[in-house]
Amino acid sequence: MLELNIKNETSRLRAVILGTAQSIGDIPKIEDCYDPKSIEHVLSGTYPKEEDMILEMDSVAEVLKKYNVQVFRPDVIDSYNQIFSRDIAFVIDNTLIKSNILPDREKEYIAIENIISQLNVENIEVLPEKCHIEGGDVMPWNEYIFIGTYSGNDYSNYITARTNIHAVNTLQKLFPHKKVKSFELRKSNTNAKENALHLDCCFQPIGKDKAILHKNGFLIESEYEWLVNFFGKENIFEITKDEMYQMNSNIFSISEKVIISEKNFTRLNTWLRENGFIVEEVPYTEIAKQEGLLRCSTLPLIRD
């Protein structure tokens, strides 16, 4: 049996599900895209090719193996996008919570059944139907659970709104010993530079006490300020609108010291090294065209 354990974003990683770009299928139609960045690349003829994305994901698998992380992969579904494993489930403490995601994506969860079957059934939680949630919006951080949400009355108008307030309230009931802190995110169906698809598109804790942050991703300034005060201004790397668009906050921690990052994130990677991190650089620009990066394509199961 797999003994799940996730208390935060940065403790030493032992086991993870890494998505797959195998058999991703044809370039989607505009109406089948889930986010503005994918639409942008479909329209401009620059949508990523399967072979390029496979190479990018293989480079991440190599880094994970270098650090002796057990890497699980989903079963491959023919002509289907299975890159973003973070969306379909997430782990808090010893519990795996199945995300309530866009209905079109239900098959992605079925494709990790080979891994789910290795868990104790008591450690799997399925949320009520009214709770919409995706793993990119959920960040366990020790005694806190940080959650990105959107609670506007026009929630249903946004395909980019993935986590609702019902899910926030339900997680608080499931984990009464944790402090659940939610953040309203800026949403746009049409402008990728004005859209925080998930919380990890504009924020991520790193190391023991540092964070990457983008102010404009947050709808309510006081919620952004709460994070600045929580981590301390001197511990925050503030990214620009263009860096958010390139997904600079969506890197992935193997430990408090080791971070996998995109090789073109020059300013961020320099800052990380100056602050004592080991940065494992990988190519990931093709996958980034679908408004997701390293954190989005990984689902951590066990950290020390």
CATH number at residue 56: 3.75.10.10
- pLDDT score of 25 more than 90: no
Q: Which residues sit opposite 203 in a β-bridge?
A: 213
Burial class (CB in 10 A: 0-12, 13-18, 19+), 27: middle
Residue type, 89: A
In a domain, 2, yes or no: no
What pLDDT, on the 0 to 100 scale, is given for residue 286? Answer: 95
In a domain, 4, yes or no: no
In a domain, 3, yes or no: no
Q: Average pLDDT, whole number, for the chain?
A: 94
CB 24 within 8 A of CB 80: yes
| pLDDT above 90 as % of the chain | 82
The whole-model pTM stands at 0.94
Q: What is the mean pLDDT of residues 60-81?
A: 97
Q: Which residues sit opposite 146 in a β-bridge?
A: 139, 181
- pLDDT score of 181 more than 80: yes
Counted domains in the chain? 1
Spatial CA neighbour of 289 closest among 47, 63, 110, 2: 47
In a domain, 6, yes or no: no
- pLDDT score of 196 more than 90: no
In a domain, 105, yes or no: yes
Tokens of 52: 């390029």
In a domain, 128, yes or no: yes
What pLDDT, on the 0 to 100 scale, is given for residue 189? Answer: 83
| pLDDT above 70 as % of the chain | 100
Q: How confident is the model at residue 28 (pLDDT cuts 50, 70, 90)?
A: confident
- Quick check: helix, strand or coil at residue 269? helix
- pLDDT score of 279 more than 90: yes
Q: How confident is the model at residue 266 (pLDDT cuts 50, 70, 90)?
A: very high
In a domain, 224, yes or no: yes
In a domain, 1, yes or no: no
What pLDDT, on the 0 to 100 scale, is given for residue 160? Answer: 82
Beta-strand pair 124-126/95-98? parallel
DSSP of 238-272, one letter per residue? EPPHHHHHTTTT--EESSSSEEEEETT-HHHHHHH
Q: How confident is the model at residue 31 (pLDDT cuts 50, 70, 90)?
A: confident
Least confident of 13-22, 35-44, 143-152, 231-240: 35-44
- pLDDT score of 76 more than 80: yes
Q: Domain of 43?
A: 13-303
Q: What is the pLDDT of residues 89-118, one digit of tens each?
A: 999 999 999 998 777 788 999 999 999 999
What pLDDT, on the 0 to 100 scale, is given for residue 94? Answer: 98
